[in-house]
Amino acid sequence: MKANRMLISTLKENPQDAKIASHILLLRAGMIKPEVAGIYNFLPLGLRVLNKIEKIVKEEMDKAGCIEILCSALQPKELWVESGRWEKYGPELMRLKDRHDREFCLGPTHEEVFTSMAKDLIKSAKALPINIYQIQTKYRDEFRPRFGLMRSREFIMKDAYSFDKDTQGLEASYQNMYDTYSKIFTRLNLHFQPVLADTGNIGGNGSHQFMALSDVGESEIVYCDECGYAADVEKATTKLDNYKGMEEKPYSKIHTPNAGTIEELQEFLKMDPKNMTKTLVYHDYMNEKFVIAMVRGDRELNVIKLVNALNSNENYLRLATDEELLNLGFVKGFTSPIGHDKDFEVYVDYEVELMDGFLTGANEKDYHFLNVKYGRDFKGIVCDLKTATEGDFCPVCGKPMKQERGIEVGQIFKLGTKYSEPMNCTYVDLDGKNKPMVMGCYGIGITRVMQSIVEQYHDEFGIKWPINVAPYEVVIVPINIKDEAQMNLAEEIYNRLLEEGIEVVFDDRDARCGFKFKDWELIGIPYTIVSGKNAAQGILELKDRNTLEKIEIGKEELINKLIKDIMNAR
């Protein structure tokens, strides 16, 4: 390809609203172009990367015995009403009406469509198991689209759905996808970790996420080096530390002027936050109620765990506002479950249940209660509500765990009959009976993967694409396009590499060579060949984008080396 015809559109300056390296670099390298918040267009170089990622994903899905289809992004409301998600999915669902007032959504995922398709197309047990997938555009009206392709409103997903006769079959299909995802992310050169996961809006009863490890990841992972337990903090449980708090005695009121936060109380009372509780009031819009939730004072409440306890949706759960607290009779900073447990459900974390006594608000400005005890002084529903963190004990082997950040690049779910039952997706078993198919679903964020690779492969000069996903493998830069020897040698190498099936760019642009080198470093082409002062002797320079090493090399040797290295890496 000749660079002059390529619509290269690199930027010198960092775009203002891009905050993380991978987003900045995709924009600066001219891979993507923003349209409006969370919506991107793919430019030629970016599209080539995307196509390569998709090809690797497809190859591994096909090898795993899956079959590809392509569905529409537009989905009729009726399907979502049938599954019960039209309301429950919340404001992330992009809803629209056609000219006849019929309602649709732009699919954020395709469980409904695939379930309805299996219902229509599969009748007999003989057709099962089957795993059907597509690579297709999804829409989610994210509350805060950010970080470029990481969290966009339109993105490309590979989604697959397995249909089995029974749960044993589902286990095998799930394991097949777990193994396939490990192969895919390995081929995509990602440093990744599979972790136990919450099932979120998709539902079901078992799930793993595949996390690309990165400091800019939005997910927190805890893991155990000893036994290999690893989980998203939304899901992670811990072995309890059995901390008992204060001694057991009747509770009493103390004056705590202006101390309405854990920090202020710690300062004023010189008390360890472990002896306190956080008593939080939440508004559950979905179930139209307010609830109290309590975790130990040194803990953060995990909203997802509360969502699950409430059978609500994270988009519908918010901390009560100051005004709501006032109207409900709570005193902000001094909230207490005591006296409120008849009117509100009180969700209490396991750790709080275990304590002999703790400090909590007295529901009166500037006062707290000491030595409160759950069960004796108030009642509630005990469940897991705390966010696991570094140093907590592994639920499997009890050793202290570590914490790291990750980008969720894929997730797999055991759905069971969550969709097949309400949507009546059944097959006729050998005994002649109708049974619901047992389903799994499996997603990979293709566009998010693309940016995750950049996050893991870049330096101060630009992107360092691994060879098998690079937009082109080699670029040839003649130092002076008016120099005949340089141009002839560059043309010769270009044609030889093309004949060998190598993806190569000839930089024929009329620009300074320093400018061109900067461009290719930013774009991240793995190899740059420079045809310069020794061209007449058939000697070129070869630069490795990854190591930044340069070598002088004769043309035959250069061609042989590139063929070998590139074929090995593909």
Choices 62-70, 147-155, 315-323, 461-469 (CB under 6 A): range interacting with ligand ATP: 147-155
Backbone φ/ψ region at 445: left (φ over 0), alpha (ψ -120 to 50), beta: beta
Contact indicator for 429, 435 with CB cutoff of 8 Å: yes
- Least CB distance to ligand ATP at residue 320 (A): 25
131 contacts Mg ion (rule: CB under 5 A): no
DSSP string, 245-285: BS-S---EEEE-TT--SHHHHHHHH---GGGBEEEEEEEET
> In this complex, which beta carbon is closest to Mg ion, that of residue 360 or of residue 411?
411
Q: Give the contacts of 393 (CB within 8 A, at least 6 positions apart).
A: 238, 239, 240, 241, 399, 400, 401
Q: Residue 193 in contact with residue 224, Cβ under 8 Å?
A: no
- The two beta strands, 252-255 and 367-372, are antiparallel
Shorter beta-carbon distance to Mg ion: residue 302 or 411: 411
Q: Which stretch binds Mg ion (CB under 5 A): 131-139, 407-415, 506-514, 554-562?
A: 407-415
CB of 408 to Mg ion, least distance (A): 5
Nearest distance in Å: CB 135, ligand ATP: 12
Task: Retrieve residue 141's tokens.
Answer: 């009206």
363 binds Mg ion (CB under 5 A): no
Q: Which one of the spans 37-45, 186-194, 282-290, 409-417 is the region binding Mg ion (CB under 5 A)?
A: 409-417
Output phi, psi for 65, to 5 deg: 90, 20
* Minimum distance of ligand ATP from residue 451's CB (angstroms): 9
Name which position in 106, 202, 224, 233 contacts ligand ATP (CB under 6 A): 202
Contact status: 296 vs ligand ATP (CB under 6 A):
no
Closest CB to ligand ATP among residues 194, 400: 194
Residue 275 or 447 having the CB closest to ligand ATP = 447
- Omega of the bond prior to 15 within 30 degrees of 0, cis? no
Give yes or no for residue 110 binding ligand ATP (CB under 6 A). Answer: no
Q: Which of 199, 208, 206, 205 is nearest to 230 (CA)?
A: 208
For Mg ion, the closer of residues 195 and 535 by Cβ is: 195
Asked if residue 170 binds ligand ATP (CB under 6 A), the reply is no
At residue 366, what is the residue type?
A: D
Query: Which range touches Mg ion (CB under 5 A), out of 147-155, 322-330, 406-414, 488-496?
Result: 406-414
Query: Interface with Mg ion includes 411 (CB under 5 A)?
Result: yes
What whole-number distance in Å separates Cα of residue 256 and Cα of residue 254?
6
What are the angstrom distances between the C-alpha of 55 and each of 58, 59, 130, 357, 409? 5, 6, 21, 59, 16
Rounded Cα–Cα distance for residues 180 and 182 (Å) = 5
**Nearest residue relative to ligand ATP (C-beta):** 445
* Residue 445 binding partner per list ligand ATP, Mg ion, none, with a CB distance cut-off of 5 to 8 Å that depends on partner kind: ligand ATP
Using CB under 6 A as the criterion, which residues of the chain lie in contact with ligand ATP when the complex forms? 109, 140, 142, 151-152, 155, 157, 200, 202, 408-411, 443, 445, 447-448
